[in-house]
Amino acid sequence: MSPALADDYPAEVSAVIAGARKYCEDNGGKFAATPAAVRKAALNGDSRDDYIVDLNEASCDGVGGAFCGTGGCEISILVATPSGRFVTVFNNQVLDYEILSETHAMKFQLHGSYCGGHGGGSRCIKTHRITAKPFKYVRP
C-alpha cells in the first residue's frame, strides 16, 4: 500500500483517495500516489488537523488526463468538524494553491476562465477563508 493511502487517515480522507483509485481502475488505468498526495494542515484556526488531497501527486497510468487538465489538477479540502468527522469544503481543479496560515485562508491559482479570461495560458487568482462551509468557484 502506498504511504498516501495510509490506514491512519480519517475515513473521509481515505474515501477521496479510494474514489480516485476507483475512477482510474474503472477506466482501465493503474493508480499510484506519492506520500505528498495527502497533506495535513491547520487551515481554519480551530486547532484541529484538516486535510488536502492533491491529485497532482497521483497518477493513473493508461488514462491520460484522469486527474489533471488545462485547469490544473483536482484537489479536495477536508475540514474537521467539532464532532471529529470531516466535511469536504472544496473539490475542484486548481493550477496551484498556497495556504495563508495567518488569515486562515487559501490562495488559489485557477484557469483564467474563472475571471473571464480564456485560453490555456490565462490564469486567475482567488483567495478564500477556510471554514467548515463548502465553497466553489464558478465561471462567469
Domain limits, the chain: 3-93
Q: Which amino acid is at 108?
A: F
* Cβ neighbours, 10 Å, residue 17: 22
Give pLDDT tens digits for 58-71.
Answer: 999 999 899 999 89
Task: Tell me what pLDDT residue 7 has.
Answer: 60
| Average pLDDT of the chain to the nearest whole number | 92
The cell for 20 is 480516485
3-state secondary structure of 70: coil
The cell for 35 is 506520500
Of 103, 98, 97, residue with least CA distance to 130: 103
Give pLDDT tens digits for 71-109.
Answer: 999 999 999 999 999 999 999 999 999 999 999 999 999
3-state secondary structure of 20: helix
Task: Tell me what pLDDT residue 118 has.
Answer: 79
Instruction: Compute φ and ψ for 92, nearest 5 degrees.
Output: -165, 170
Contact 80, 47 (CB under 8 A): no
Instruction: Compute φ and ψ for 94, nearest 5 degrees.
Output: -135, 150
